[in-house]
Structure 1
């Protein structure tokens, strides 16, 4: 059972970013499903590391895209990315320290992060992209 399913409310209208968001959700669901199946240790740690790498790569792509379209909220958006990666890193460190056991707080963070960041924050640069014809 996934932590969250992709739906139209997560579609920001920028295909490349939608594809990457979908990929992040897939990895989040892999972590959740492994956790629900009782997996821990190296399996969970590897998936958590994979998601961290995917997020770092996605944020770099998203930031480059925002710069290309001249998004005026770039500086604030980039700061949010930095904050999210810091919080994610803290969760990842706690999971490693716990022997690859993820907490409910971690999954709540993931779900909130994905839905609120995409729906509340990413839609702003997507709207700007539309307004400038990109």
Structure 2
């Protein structure tokens, strides 16, 4: 069962970014489920590999939009993205050294999934107002 269900409160109103956000939430939910169910190193590794690639694409897309539309929160958003990548790297390191665990699943839930929800609602929504000014 997903920990975070996509709903309208998570939407920022930009279809491409909302689609990407939904995919990220789905993958993070899948990662937590895989760890809790002890599904195996290979499946978990594949999910993390997907997240690495997808996050690079998504964060780049968002940051390009922020620069293009001269959104004032662009530097704060880039810093937040960097912090998220650092946390994901810590999760990957712990997965490699200790394997999946309940405490790591909780960390993914609290520090990655919850981060996204708050980030969507507080920071990413500002992009829509920047885009609508043009």
After the TM superposition, list the runs of 4 or more consecutive aligned residues in structure 1 that deviate by more than 4 angstroms. Answer: none
SS of the residue corresponding to residue 83 of structure 2 reads: helix
Q: Name the Cα RMSD after superposition.
A: 1.6
Kindly indicate whether the alpha-carbon contact (under 8 Å) linking 1:49 and 1:92 is maintained by their aligned counterparts in 2: no
Kindly indicate whether the alpha-carbon contact (under 8 Å) linking 2:14 and 2:128 is maintained by their aligned counterparts in 1: yes
Kindly indicate whether the alpha-carbon contact (under 8 Å) linking 2:48 and 2:92 is maintained by their aligned counterparts in 1: yes
Kindly indicate whether the alpha-carbon contact (under 8 Å) linking 1:40 and 1:99 is maintained by their aligned counterparts in 2: no
**Residues 50-80 of structure 1: per-residue CA shift (max 9 Å, x gap):** 1122111100000111111111221121111
Return the alpha-carbon distance in structure 1 between the equivalents of residues 29 and 64 of structure 2: 27
Number of aligned positions between the proteins:
132
Q: Give unpaired runs (5+ residues) of structure 1.
A: none
Kindly indicate whether the alpha-carbon contact (under 8 Å) linking 1:45 and 1:100 is maintained by their aligned counterparts in 2: no
TM-score by length of 2: 0.89
TM-score by length of 1: 0.89
**In the TM superposition, what is the alpha-carbon distance from 1:34 to its structure 2 partner?**
1.9
Q: Give unpaired runs (5+ residues) of structure 2.
A: none
**Residues 3-56 of structure 1: per-residue CA shift (max 9 Å, x gap):** 211000111011110011011111112212222332131211221221122111
